[in-house]
Structure 1
Amino acid sequence: MLFVLSLVLLMLLALGIVSLPISSDDSPPNDLSSFRRRIITRSKGLGERKEQWTEILSWEPRAFIYHNFLSKEECEYMISLAKPHMKKSTVVDSKTGRSKDSRR
């Protein structure tokens, strides 16, 4: 029984469903300082990216901000791809249960 439970725990750890707290003597265990990833790349025809870096907001739940993930040109390209498929958002009318414009 102990062997089976050990296997299940190892599988959960491998899949990332369960995580063990990891701390070192050099830094406090709840240190949420950001770390920088110095990657400056040129995309083919889509502009130059600025310095990319990751900001850690929280470990539980895990939340990160990836700064400069895309260049300005890459963002504009993705927006141009999505624009034809965009439509105005609506809200539910509490009286009728139907969708309606939120400004009315």
Structure 2
Amino acid sequence: YVSRTTGHTRDKLLGGLGITSLFSNDVASDKGPSQFQPEVHPWVEQIAESPRIFLYHNFLSEEERVHLIKLAAPIMRRSKILQNDAPADSNARTSYGTFLRRMQDPIVERIQRRIELWTHYPIEHQE
């Protein structure tokens, strides 16, 4: 549709599904100055209708990627399996993971607000 306040074309419905696709002027701004380098064009691609699956291209800036890695690296732990109702190591599970606190700092908050904007899921429902 065309925004009544700015007159800019802001959204597009995908495949008649009533799903909003956000273009770079919306997703980059997060209601503020652009967080992306000028050459980066963030965009959303629907890759399946049932179940609905979307691929978010160029979602994070280089600064955000580096920041998340710096936050997570020191607290990464090997993923466990559940064995006899207790967490256990397994040679079959070789991944590592961690959790960051919600709204941990301004960059994490900015990313969470972008997730909310792009997915229409409130921050409280994000994992």
TM-score (norm 1): 0.46
Flag the structure with larger Rg: 1
